Amino acid sequence: MKKKIFKLIIISLLVCFCIFPMSGAASASAVYLGGIPAGFSLNTRGVTVVGITDVNTENGKFSPAKDAGLTLGDVVLSIDNKDVNSSEDIAKAVNGKSEAKIVYMRNGERHESVIKPKKDGLGKYKLGLFIRNYVSGIGTLTYIKDNKFTSLGHPILDERGDLIEITGGSLINCTITGAIKGERGKAGELKGIFLKNAAFAKATYNTKTGVVGTISDGEIERLNLKEVETGEARVGNAVIYSTVTGSRPKEYCISIVKIDKNERDNKNLVLKITDDELIDLTGGIVQGMSGSPILQDGKLVGAVTHVFINDPERGFGISIDNIIDK
């Protein structure tokens, strides 16, 4: 969920996290409950092509990237066997070269091509590329266990719908400043600000069931999180813990209307928002609530993952078993 991340007919939601009073070490069968909002700043493996342009040389205009067959959304991994993760890496890899081997990913497949850098008017060798090497947004921490956190409930995807591989990153304290309400045919969105120099956890992987990473004992104690058991979801009333204003989560009523035990990814719970206050504030489920914990009978049974674009009061969730199994 780029500040807005991942729109589909069913919208996946990158943006929210939860806090509760209780400190001390969690027992072997328990987890620390999330729900607190966090800013995600994640470094990607390779660089994503977001624009292609001409290089102005003394002999005219050339487009090395276009001539090599690159298109928007390609992820460049290496040039002449040197990994590239930034514009500086590209500049070093092509400096002084008339041609180079470029390796990139497209639609999950690896490709190779020959690219011919051109020297611009300042004497610098260029490929005619605009690139992106990070993603950012607001999302929700679901739970912590053994100093490892799980968040979002769904993967961060690129514009083509491919899972983005990350090389690291941070979760940053943030405050939710408001919400754009969801409407039929248009997903809503939480708005927030990252707090400067306030990273509290390290992201390590972007998986099919969310971003995971590590968090220190000191940060767990500072967040003062509640300890809960995990359980199995059932059809019926439940609650979500979500932060739709400020930095503290609140309990909102929902109903789990359907469970698909054969769905092993992140859409095996169908949810209905029944809380009038939440509907008044956000219109229902919005981008930014992804990862908000779902509880029944005081146990963590899943997390919010998607909103139905044609009905913001309904959406999908993922069962806790699907998260833990992955």
Active site (annotated) includes residue 275: yes
Burial track 127-161 (b if 16+ CB lie within 10 A, e otherwise): bbbebebbbbbbbbbbbbeeeebbbbbbbbbbeee
Report helix, strand or coil for 291.
Answer: coil
Active site (annotated) includes residue 154: yes
Catalytic residue among 12, 151, 154, 306: 154
Yes or no: say if 225 and 285 are a contact pair by the CB < 8 Å rule. Answer: no
Catalytic residue among 275, 292, 306, 319: 275
Residues near 138 by beta carbon (within 8 Å), at least 6 away in sequence:
1, 3, 14, 15, 16, 37, 38, 39, 40, 174, 176, 190, 192, 288
Residues near 149 by beta carbon (within 8 Å), at least 6 away in sequence:
34, 141, 142, 143, 171, 201, 212, 213, 214, 215
Amino acid at 53: T
Active site (annotated) includes residue 290: yes
Catalytic residue among 151, 290, 292, 319: 290
> Catalytic amino acids?
154, 275, 290
